[in-house]
Amino acid sequence: MRRLLLLATLLLLSPILLAAADERLRQANFAPHTTLERASLERKNQSVLRYLWVDVYAAALYAEPKVSAAQALERQRSLRLELFYFRNIERTDVIEAAWITLKRQQDQPTLERLRSDLDALHATFRDIKPGDRYALNYNADSGLSLERNGKTAFASSNPELARAYLGIWLAPNGLSESLRSSLLND
């Protein structure tokens, strides 16, 4: 009986949650197309990350027009992961979540090789405010860059760093399997 009640509650809430996600995506207002250096990218997918029934941020994944999001990631093609935040988040919480995920996804020798690059990237983080927009860009020629509200805050040509850091959202055992699945779904 309890399971039936839980199922009925979830079914009743589903349209409300979907409408809320649609409203959040409208609020994030992700562009359908963008340019990364000389590469033209199109928005492949977008989704909202919820944590304990609270919308934290909306995410959009961009890749080249004739490449799926998953192919762009696998083949190390140009891509952009853009995040639009709905909540205040302290930079220390963001860094801690990144390290927890990286330790779950990467072996110790990889983390040791990447430690100085990761520390340099994390040093550029600021406390997040509602409406802030962060983006991780990857281009095979120039590597990884982090944008904060449209301005480049960090850049690295290390492809291993790009793979590991984008993996926080896009690789197995990342921050959210449902977000990953939504972003990579073709």
Q: Phi-psi region for residue 51, left (φ > 0), alpha (ψ -120 to 50) or beta? A: beta
Domain with 99, as residue range(s), is 2-184
Q: Residue 21 maps to which CATH number? A: 3.50.70.10
Per-residue pLDDT reduced to its tens digit, 7-57: 344 444 434 344 467 899 999 999 999 998 888 999 999 999 998 889 999
Number of domains in the chain: 1
What is the mean pLDDT, run by run of 10 residues, along the chain of 186 residues?
42 44 90 91 95 91 90 86 97 97 97 97 98 95 94 96 95 94 88
Could you give the CA distance from residue 144 to residue 118 in angstroms, rounded to a whole number? Answer: 12
Please state the pTM of the whole predicted model. 0.86
Give the SS3 label for residue 102: helix
pLDDT of residue 110: 97
pLDDT of residue 186: 64
pLDDT of residue 72: 82
pLDDT of residue 15: 40
Could you give the CA distance from residue 182 to residue 166 in angstroms, rounded to a whole number? Answer: 15
pLDDT of residue 11: 43
Rg (CA), the chain: 17
